[in-house]
Amino acid sequence: MPVQERIQQPRFLADAMLGRLARRLRMLGLDVLYDPDADDHLIRYTSRRESRLVLTKDRRLAAILGSDAYLVYGSKVAEEFTSLVPLLRHLACRFDPLSRCMDCNEKLTSMKHAEAEGNVPRYVFASCRDFMRCPKCGKIYWEGTHSGSMRKGIELMLEEARGP
């Protein structure tokens, strides 16, 4: 087995201040837990139990967790992401854009076109062929009019994360 395949993909846990960043990382296909109601105790417990690196803006929490935390900087989500880029490069993260539910983090699964009927708007069912579903929360995803701009944003994030 090649070395790359043996290296486990990193798993993250974003604290309450990083909800928008968590969604952005999920958009890239990274495994990021996020619970805005989790207190520091639950964050520490979940991080240890599930071997997750905590992403936080809380200096005190980062100091307590030591190497199990990464301190994120910035006041806007783009700045937060940029502050995270060195870590993403260091961990050699593998990206699989649009493969996770942006709401609950679960891996999306393909669904048959016929299964989407009655579960998506009629015009969407008539105009789209490919649908993905979250097996946990049931949310259905498809390529819509916003997909072009979303893919451009993803490409920019990937270029920044992968570097030169």
Contact 143, 125 (CB under 8 A): no
Which domains, and CATH codes, for the chain?
A: 3-101 (3.40.50)
Contact 134, 56 (CB under 8 A): no
- The pLDDT-based confidence of 1 (bands split at 50, 70, 90) is very low
pLDDT tens per residue, range 29-72: 999 999 999 999 999 999 999 999 999 999 999 999 999 999 99
Q: List all residues 6 or more positions away from 52 whose beta carbon is below 8 Å from its beta carbon.
A: 11, 12, 13, 33, 46
Dist CA 122 CA 47 (whole Å): 42
Given the structure tokens 């942006």, which residue do they identify? 102
pLDDT over 90 at 103, yes or no: yes
Residue 148 burial (CB count, 10 A): 10
Helix (H/G/I), strand (E/B), else coil: 2: coil
pTM for the whole structure = 0.88
Higher-confidence residue: 18 or 9? 18
Helix (H/G/I), strand (E/B), else coil: 100: strand
Contact 97, 158 (CB under 8 A): yes
